[in-house]
Amino acid sequence: MNRYPLWKNLLIIIVLLWGLLYTLPNFYGEAPAVQISSAKATLELDPAAVSARAAGALEAAGIAHTGVFADASGVRIRFADGDTQLRAKDIIENAFIPDKQDPSYVVALNLLSNSPAWLTDIHALPMYLGLDLRGGVHFLLQVDMPGAITRRIDTIASDLRGQLREKNIRYAGIDRDGDAIRIRFREAAERDAARAVIQSFNNELQLADRDDGAGEAGLIATLSPQAQQNIRDFAIKQNINTLHNRINELGVAEPVIQQQGLDRIVVQLPGVQDVAKAKDLLGRTATLELRMVDDTPGALESARAGRPPYGTELFTEHSSRGDSPILLKKQIELTGERLTDAQPGFDENNEPAVYLTLDGPGARKFRDLTRQNVGKRMAILLVEKGKGEVVTAPVIRAEIGGGRVQISGSMTSAEASKTALLLRAGALAAPMEIIEERTVGPSLGKDNIAKGFNSTLWGFVAIVAFMSVYYMLFGLVSSVALTANLLLLVALLSLLQATLTLPGIAAMALTLGMAIDSNVLINERIREELRNGCTPQAAISAGYERAWDTILDSNITTLIAGIALLIFGSGPVRGFAVVHCLGILTSMFSAILVSRMLINFIHGYRRKLASLSIGTVWKPGNTGQ
């Protein structure tokens, strides 16, 4: 009656052992580390070479480390204490960044798990800790929305010039007047023709006539309110995506990047100790530009000698064959804001290529550009912090029309994939500035962890004490099941690599208090069956079976509330909801299956029981077992 089959017992034990295994990494803590990553989008990191170079520099300086960990995003070197970490950072910076003016690498302070290698190999990793527990930096960024609208108006003005020239409509001038575009015509008929053309190409503009006193016909174009709102929304979303790409260079495991209000972005970087590096990374203003290459004989040599021809600039082209100088014209033909997608692929000759998708105005400008420059080279330039690097400079083989553009020639497959990634990543849609900065030190994070741990511990002790006194042996079994619940909850959070914050710890403590309800229901049901005259064995069986429906209903309703918090909440509320929902699932497993398995081991192999150690069972008129 009260026995599980062998396979079920083994399955429960395996689950508990799995929980213990994946909980272990959280007890090893973190150690100070130094991270090395690429500072330039065009510089691909070689983890093996960087690891060897860093280890050699540290060995030459007599600085010991406790491990080197390399992956595609960077190299992390772990140290025994903070003083050694700071000394090592200076040594590594001198080895990798001898020229402080043009760094090719980012050398930043960080924290790394102390878990042994065998746990890491089976992907048993500690939970991510939020900013309030781990320490780190918090930034509040203000997005320049007027600047985004101004840039859009400038782009539209440039497009209008091309559209009117393409339709052979003469105009006296196109100028930006504040947040409007003023187009001047010599005749009213030309203005009417231009109005029809502009309305067919641009549905985001509002047009109004405005004549001046000199007899010229004028047309004022302004962005509609909906278009302005779309620009603001795009600016926020694009900047958040770009910040995600940049923060990957810092190796932050679980950054928080989210919109706050209409024009602000919150960035939280747990574990980052180097505030200056983080600010430098967030402050980049990268842009993508298409320019023509100046292949005039002798021009490159003259530029390398310090005498660049008028209207040209000297850059460096990075490729698998090494770095080489390249001379570009200053005129910007197309910017990255016209790109809607970029994917790597192969052309008709089975050579690596990049396929770009442009918006309507961008496709027209690119068609005109390629028609006028067949046989010449066009460069894709990535500009960061005022310095540009050439991603690729292919030859224009023929006029390219339509919204899908192919760039091929002088590229490997890896370079094509890298170029497509860079183009998709894009740049900031609008400038930003840091208006608030806070640093949470590791010591404060440790205090928060200690307080959260103590509150959970003492809550757990109080529950165990009450259950043991009130339900005796069954209370002890319930306490063991509660321990299994906590073990499985931490293991799940670690496996999912969830971020634990102070609200998450609060949810964990609340889960312990709620999880014991299931065992209280079971124990009270067993008592009721004993009062009704059932034998102890029958009371155990009926208690677990008849309490199941009530336990299921109560947990489902609680889970619905948790899912609502998870869907509609954000930030701390969402962190609370994650732990809360997972805790409900683990509590049902532990309260029902684990406790029943333990009771079966204790009482299930004895067919006759005189009584049960479950506290006082009150019967009408007398005292029961």
What average pLDDT does the segment 431-453 reach? 77
Which amino acid is present at 438? Answer: R
Instruction: Give dist(CA 140, CA 593) in Å, integer.
Output: 47
**CB crowding 492-504: b at 16 or more within 10 Å, else e:** bbbbeebbbbbbb
Looking up tokens 């903070």 gives 82
Provide the domain count of the chain. 4
What average pLDDT does the segment 16-38 reach? 87
How many residues in total does the chain contain?
625
The Cβ of residue 444 has, within 10 Å, a number of other Cβ atoms equal to: 14
202: confidence class by pLDDT, cuts 50, 70, 90: confident
Q: Which domain holds residue 450?
A: 6-23+442-623
Contact 547/522 with Cβ under 8 angstroms?
Answer: yes
Is 142 a domain residue?
yes
Q: Are 480 and 612 in a shared domain?
A: yes
Is 293 a domain residue?
yes
Per-residue pLDDT of 79-116, as tens digits, reads 988 788 889 988 998 888 876 655 677 787 777 778 88
Contact 176/145 with Cβ under 8 angstroms?
Answer: no
Q: Are 464 and 611 in a shared domain?
A: yes
For residue 7, report the phi and psi dihedrals to the nearest 5 degrees: -65, -35
Residues 6+ apart with CB under 8 A from 98: none
- pLDDT attached to residue 373: 84
Instruction: Evaluate if pTM is beyond 0.85.
Output: no
Residue 331 burial by Cβ neighbours in a 10 Å radius (0-12, 13-18, 19+): exposed
Q: Are 547 and 497 in a shared domain?
A: yes
For every residue of 390-459, which 3-state class applies, written as one string?
EEECCECCCCCCCCEEEEECCCCHHHHHHHHHHHHHCCCCCCEEEEEEEEECHHHHHHHHHHHHHHHHHH
Per-residue pLDDT of 209-268, as tens digits, reads 887 666 678 888 888 888 888 888 888 887 887 787 667 655 555 678 888 888 899 888
Is 343 a domain residue?
yes
Q: Are 542 and 506 in a shared domain?
A: yes
**What CATH number does the domain containing 487 carry?**
1.20.1640.10
Dihedral (CA of 275, 280, 281, 283) sign: positive
- pLDDT attached to residue 622: 46
Q: Which of 552, 483, 580 is nearest to 19 (CA)?
A: 483
Last-in-domain residue among 440, 471, 486: 440
Q: Which of 37, 127, 113 is nearest to 78 (CA)?
A: 113
Q: Are 468 and 603 in a shared domain?
A: yes
The percent of residues above 90 in pLDDT, for the chain, comes to 11
Regarding predicted confidence, which is higher, 528 or 612?
528
Which amino acid is present at 357? Answer: T
Last-in-domain residue among 440, 471, 488: 440
Q: Are 231 and 290 in a shared domain?
A: no
Instruction: Give dist(CA 285, CA 430) in Å, integer.
Output: 9
Contact 173/164 with Cβ under 8 angstroms?
Answer: no
Last-in-domain residue among 373, 403, 427: 427
Q: Are 243 and 263 in a shared domain?
A: yes
- pLDDT attached to residue 625: 44
Contact 586/499 with Cβ under 8 angstroms?
Answer: no
H or E element, residue 271: none
Q: Are 40 and 19 in a shared domain?
A: no
User: What is the CA 591 to chain-centroid distance, rounded?
Assistant: 36
- pLDDT attached to residue 44: 65
- pLDDT attached to residue 479: 92
- pLDDT attached to residue 58: 92
Is 130 a domain residue?
no
Is 618 a domain residue?
yes
Which amino acid is present at 230? Answer: N
Lowest mean pLDDT among 28-42, 324-338, 467-481, 589-603: 28-42
Q: Which of 471, 452, 472 is nearest to 460 (CA)?
A: 452
**What CATH number does the domain containing 38 carry?**
3.30.70.260
Contact 228/149 with Cβ under 8 angstroms?
Answer: yes
Per-residue pLDDT of 598-625, as tens digits, reads 988 888 766 677 778 786 665 554 444 4
Is 119 a domain residue?
no
Q: Are 616 and 475 in a shared domain?
A: yes
**DSSP 8-class letter at 126:** P
Q: Are 350 and 371 in a shared domain?
A: yes
pLDDT mean across residues, the chain: 81
The percent of residues above 70 in pLDDT, for the chain, comes to 83
Is 363 a domain residue?
yes
Q: Are 469 and 602 in a shared domain?
A: yes
Is 120 a domain residue?
no
Contact 22/491 with Cβ under 8 angstroms?
Answer: yes
Q: Are 458 and 512 in a shared domain?
A: yes
Which pair of structure tokens corresponds to residue 251? 């190796």
Instruction: Give dist(CA 420, CA 314) in Å, integer.
Output: 24
Contact 564/557 with Cβ under 8 angstroms?
Answer: no
Lowest mean pLDDT among 157-161, 183-187, 442-446, 534-538: 442-446
Contact 198/205 with Cβ under 8 angstroms?
Answer: yes
Instruction: Give dist(CA 247, CA 44) in Å, integer.
Output: 16
Which pair of structure tokens corresponds to residue 126? 């500690």
Per-residue pLDDT of 411-428, as tens digits, reads 677 667 666 665 665 566
